[in-house]
Structure formats: structure tokens, C-alpha cells
Amino acid sequence: MGNAPVELRGFRIWKGYLDGPAQAGLVAALRPVLKAAPLFRPVTPRGQAMSVRMTSAGELGWVTDRKGYRYEALHPSGTSWPAIPDAVLAIWAGVTGLERMPDSCLINYYGADARMSLHQDKDEEDYSWPVVSVSLGDDGLFRIGNTTRGGKTDSIWLGSGDVVVMGGDARLTYHGIDRIRFGSSRLLPKGGRINLTLRVAS
């Protein structure tokens, strides 16, 4: 689906990978996931509440609290994470061409004032697998840096239906979301932005 990807600092960005109906289908597929594994507000290891709310699907879910950043087999409520919807797995297969499927899908929800500071995704066991991000709803200003902290960065607005592959030499490149343009999309009834990140965690 969509156009060929553009490359920015080693990330492959597929603008408009998902058309409107595909985005709506994905939201519908996520609804039971969010019901079974409600969004929660994560706390950093230093005790700072994050501005995004998050949950996961798959065998493992990424969590953070006072005990640190890690993957866990259970939602904080003690239940298993729901399965990753097939429509989500199809995106992974489509943009990576890999037979190996991700075992974890982090679901981040950004309200009007949420952001995500520059970070590396490095809690996975094997960095040879890419991380794939899928954006739904309001636009988010995505900043891409370097494989080490600091230095020049580039930013690009990610819109609903955009997909980013963070892999290869850029697998450990710093990235984050500076802000969202609340209300820029009508996909989510209450506004805001959902970002899915698919990972092979272990």
C-alpha cells in the first residue's frame, strides 16, 4: 500500500502507508485490545510520570516503573497481554519482508500535552531485528538524532497511516516526539495520537 519509503537519518518512512479505511480498521482492531489491557500511565525508573499513556499486545509488553525499563509477560493488572491483531502483523510483514513476526507491540497514546523525549529502543535482545512504528490519529512531530546522544537532528511530521522502519545501522538511533498537533485528525473520536511500535523483544 502507499508510496515508496523516504529515508531520513537511516529510518525508512512510508508516508500514507495505510489509507483511511485501513486506519479505521486498525482502530477497530485495537478497541478490544485496549479493553483487555487498558492504557496506564508509566513512571520512569527515577519516579517521573510519563506524559504518554501506554499498554501492549503480544507475548511481551514493554513497561517502566521504579524497578526499571523492561519487558514483562503481564499487564500491571496481572493479566496476559492480548494478541497482536493480524492487521498489525500484516504491516510488519509488508514493510520488513521478514518471516519472523514481532512478539511485542507497544501502544502509546498521546493526549494534547504528551511528548516523548529522545531515546533509544534498546531493551530488546537482538538489535538485528528492526522496530516498526505505526502512527494513527493526530500528527506528531518526530525527531531523529544519532546513534549516540547529542548532535544534529532532523524532524518530520508523522501523520495518520505513516509507518517508520527503524532498523539496520539506524536501529539504535535516538528518536522522540516533540509535540502533537491535537485535533489535526478525525480518526480517533476523542482526538490524540496512537503510536504502535512492533518489536522482536526476545
Which residues would be at the binding site for Fe ion (CB under 5 A)? Answer: 121
CA atoms within 13 A on the CB side of 127: 12
Task: Give the residue with the Cβ less far from Fe ion, 121 or 124.
Answer: 121
CB of residue 197 to Fe ion, shortest distance in Å: 6
- Does 133 participate in binding ligand SIN (rule CB under 6 A)? yes
Residues 6+ apart with CB under 8 A from 64: 42, 43, 44, 45, 50, 70
H or E element: which one contains 94? Answer: helix 86-96
CB of residue 121 to Fe ion, shortest distance in Å: 4
Q: Which cell goes with 28? A: 477497530
Gap between the terminal Cα atoms of the chain: 29
- Does 195 participate in binding ligand SIN (rule CB under 6 A)? yes
Q: Which of residues 46-105 bind ligand SIN (CB under 6 A)?
A: none
Using CB under 6 A, pick the residue from 140, 159, 161, 192 that binds ligand SIN. Answer: 140
CB of residue 80 to ligand SIN, shortest distance in Å: 22
Task: Give the residue with the Cβ less far from ligand SIN, 84 or 116.
Answer: 116
Cα(66)–Cα(63) distance, integer angstroms: 10
Using CB under 6 A, pick the residue from 84, 105, 165, 177 that binds ligand SIN. Answer: 177
List C-alpha distances in Å: 15 to 23, 66, 158. Answer: 13, 37, 8
Task: Give the residue with the Cβ less far from ligand SIN, 78 or 202.
Answer: 202
Cα(115)–Cα(118) distance, integer angstroms: 10
CB of residue 63 to ligand SIN, shortest distance in Å: 13
Q: Which residues of this protein are in contact with ligand SIN, per CB under 6 A?
A: 108, 116, 133, 135, 140, 142, 158, 175, 177, 195, 197
